[in-house]
């Protein structure tokens, strides 16, 4: 009986900690500081709109000269398409200003808030909660994804 209880406790602990690590890995709140905002101006090197996370890589000029890469994490492709975010407007080679919530742990990493494109278009993603609220009110979800 003792062995069965000990084995069950070990399995339960393993499941708990495995799930917690997975949730933290996928948690924007755990990895990014939404109370802070940072504008990054750079040339788009790469755009990867995909599942489970999308990413934009920017080439950003360093103050003393040279260039560094800045990574912008974003929601998954399915969610962005469902929320009608016009992600095809972001092109490699464009100079853009991306507003992000900076990473709590890593330099040169942030979570997407908005992007101002060369033609003045501002892309934004209302996020899941606002999308769900819009649907509940009979709207298409994110009513204003691009201005």
How many whole angstroms separate alpha carbon 115 and alpha carbon 147? Answer: 11
Check residue 4 and give its pLDDT: 63
pLDDT in tens, 34-61: 999 999 999 999 999 999 999 999 999 9
pLDDT of the residue at 23: 41
Pull the structure tokens for residue 66: 């040279």
Rounded to an integer, what distance in angstroms lies between the CA atom of residue 29 and that of residue 126?
A: 16
Q: Determine the pLDDT at residue 84.
A: 81
**pLDDT tens column, 90-136:** 999 999 999 999 999 999 999 999 999 999 988 887 776 776 676 67
H or E element in which residue 96 lies: strand 95-102
Distances (CA, A) of 60 to 44, 47, 53: 9, 15, 22
pTM of this structure: 0.74
**DSSP three-state, residue 113:** strand
């Amino acid at each position: 009986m003792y062995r069965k209880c000990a084995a069950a406790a070990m399995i339960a602990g393993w499941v708990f900690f495995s799930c917690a690590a997975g949730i933290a890995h996928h948690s924007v709140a755990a990895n990014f500081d939404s109370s802070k905002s940072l504008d990054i101006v750079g040339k788009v090197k790469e755009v990867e709109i995909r599942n489970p996370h999308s990413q934009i890589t920017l080439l950003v000029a360093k103050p003393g000269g040279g260039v560094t890469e800045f990574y912008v994490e974003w929601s998954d492709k399915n969610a962005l398409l469902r929320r009608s975010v016009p992600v095809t407007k972001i092109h490699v080679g464009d100079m853009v200003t991306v507003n992000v919530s900076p990473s709590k742990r890593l330099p040169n990493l942030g979570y997407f808030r908005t992007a101002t494109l060369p033609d003045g278009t501002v892309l934004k993603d209302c996020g899941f909660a606002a999308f769900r609220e819009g649907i509940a009110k009979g709207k298409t979800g994110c009513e204003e994804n691009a201005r």
